[in-house]
Structure formats: structure tokens, C-alpha cells
Amino acid sequence: KIENTLNAKKNVEIIDIEKDIKINADDITYFKNDEIVITKGNTTALIENKYNFESSNVSYFHGSSDLSSQMKTKIKDNEGNIYNLDRFKYSIEKKLLKGKGLNILAKHGENKNDEYFFSEGFFNLEKKSFISKETKIKVHKDVFGNKENDPRIYGSSSSGNNEKTVINNGIFTSCKITNKRTPWCIKSKKITHDKI
């Protein structure tokens, strides 16, 4: 009563009907005064039936509608995209994801994925846009009609959406990855990848 907290253990589920959120863990503490939910151990969250979070030691701030964790996290959306992060903060109302150490598998048609690596970045999950720091992109192998290729773009930073990605201080090649030096590449202060 004094601390105004509630702790629940074993198969705990938090349901926020108004914000369409379900959080599951084996140890959850609710701090009523601050409107904060903190989980211990493995945690899953389903937001708006669109985004599945798999993480641990998660904090949910009811007032600001923020979900965060300093632990490794996997997010799957209902379009088949997968986000792996070293840590994250997600604004549920704004649909903005901020993360560090990101590896993203972006579904590109049937059985094709583009793979993105970012040191850190901001992502608008609703508009499918982003801005990030250090960037590495591996485009699906047959994007140029040759399955032997390994097209990839590296850069110091990037931004983009579903249609285009702009890489700053970039280097691009489609050569197969080997132990030998790449036969050719394109370097530029700005490289634009038109996905359409």
C-alpha cells in the first residue's frame, strides 16, 4: 500500500484494451504512482496485432505509451519483416522505433529478403521510413538477374522508405563475396538505391 505497487508471478499477462497492447512475462511489477510496468526475464508483447516483441526486462510507460528494453530484442511485423536489436525504445502512439545494433530482414517479395545492418537508427513503422548511422545493406542476390551476385552497399549513414534508400559516403558492388579483392565498385558521397 505504501509503495502502491503490485507484483505478479507465473504466466502474467497485462492487457491494455485502450492501446491494444498485451504483455506476457513470468514476473511483472506495476508501479501505480508512476504508471509503469516492469518485467523481469523473458517477455513478449503484441501491439495492435501488428508487432510482436520478444525481449526481456521490458519497461512499459503507460502515460507516454513507450515500451523499452536494454536487452536484445526481436520484433516481427505482420508483413514478415524481422528487426533484431541490441536495445530499443518504441513509442506506441507515434509508431517510432529507436534502436542500437540493428539487423533487419526486410521481406522483398516471395522468398526474397534484403538485409540491413545499422549501428543505430530511428524507424517510423507506419510510414516505413528510417534514418540511421553506420549502414550495411545486402540486397537479395538476384536483384540484377544473376543469383551468383552478392550486391551490397556500405555507408556512413542512410535514410529511406519502401521505395528508395539514400546512403551517404557509400560504396557499392554486386560482385560475389570471396577472399580476393573486389574486381569493381562504385564510391560516392551519395548513393541512391531505387527499389522500384
Interval 64-112: pLDDT, tens:
999 999 999 999 999 889 999 999 999 999 999 999 999 999 876 677 7
pLDDT for res 3: 78
Q: How many CB atoms lie within 10 A of CB 154?
A: 20
57/2 Cα distance (integer angstroms):
24
Run of H or E residues at 83: strand 82-85
62/35 Cα distance (integer angstroms):
6
Inter-residue contact 44 to 52 (CB < 8 Å):
yes
pLDDT for res 174: 84
In terms of C-beta density within 10 A (0-12 exposed, 13-18 middle, 19 or more buried), how is residue 59 classed? Answer: middle
**Model pTM?**
0.88
pLDDT for res 190: 96
Computed over every residue of the chain, the mean pLDDT equals: 91
19/51 Cα distance (integer angstroms):
13
Cell numbers given for 108: 522483398
Torsion of the alpha carbons at 54, 58, 59 and 60, rounded to the nearest 10: 30
